[in-house]
Chain A
Amino acid sequence: AQTVTQSQPEMSVQEAETVTLSCTYDTSENNYYLFWYKQPPSRQMILVIRQEAYKQQNATENRFSVNFQKAAKSFSLKISDSQLGDTAMYFCAFTDGGSNYKLTFGKGTLLTVNP
């Protein structure tokens, strides 16, 4: 069974600074997909970024980027120029190539951006 581990239950960062959230996963699959979801206090689940395992290039979406290390099974999220609106729970999630309907989530990291 796949597992996703987020080792940082809580983190904080000053506004405009950079922060990195960690995620490791365990799978025997070679083809899979990784996601970071953001859950603000409104409770919505918002997709931040996604990475296909077969792509070596790290995904980037504006201020959000990932460091995908396939051999190490690591998938960290870097947030640059942190903004107050980035305050949220962040979940790392995994799905293998054949079961997009079954996401396995980590337990989440609560990120607080301080003014």
Chain B
Amino acid sequence: NAGVTQTPKFQVLKTGQSMTLQCAQDMNHEYMSWYRQDPGMGLRLIHYSVGAGITDQGEVPNGYNVSRSTTEDFPLRLLSAAPSQTSVYFCASSVSFSDQPQHFGDGTRLSIL
């Protein structure tokens, strides 16, 4: 099993460009989440999904869109990139039981110029 796979690992964008960060998991997990990690801020939840077709906002959703058409995939879209979105992005997935830990991808380092 590959676990949680994020692509790309690194990306540089110009302000105003759009892009999609990909996240895929092969563990049949219901729950998937996107976090961003900024220096001194820990990880903060952007959006999450409890199953295919169901998404909701986390702590810092502005500027990001998500969709969940399949159990496996949970892409994160930046419609018009801003320098404030420079960050490391992590995708995570978990089963539906609260005592089970989340599995994290290796992260995407995104720089907005």
Contacts and interface: CB of A to CB of B under 8 A. Distances in A.
A91 B90 CA distance: 14
A43 B106 contact: yes
Interface of A is mostly: loop
Interface stretch (B11-19, B79-87, B92-100): B92-100
A100 B102 contact: yes
Contact of A98 (B41, B49, B98, B100): B98
Contacts of B50: 101
B58 A102 contact: yes
Interface residues of B, number: 29
A52 B97 CA distance: 12
A35 interface: yes
Interface residues of A, number: 27
Given A43-B107, A44-B104, A45-B90, A91 B42 contact: yes
B49 to A, nearest CB: 8
A107 interface: yes
Contacts of B100: 100
23 contacts: A4-B42, A35-B101, A43-B106, A44-B104, A44-B106, A45-B92, A50-B99, A52-B99, A96-B98, A100-B31, A100-B95, A100-B98, A101-B33, A102-B48, A102-B58, A103-B43, A104-B45, A105-B35, A105-B44, A106-B42, A107-B40, A107-B41, A107-B42
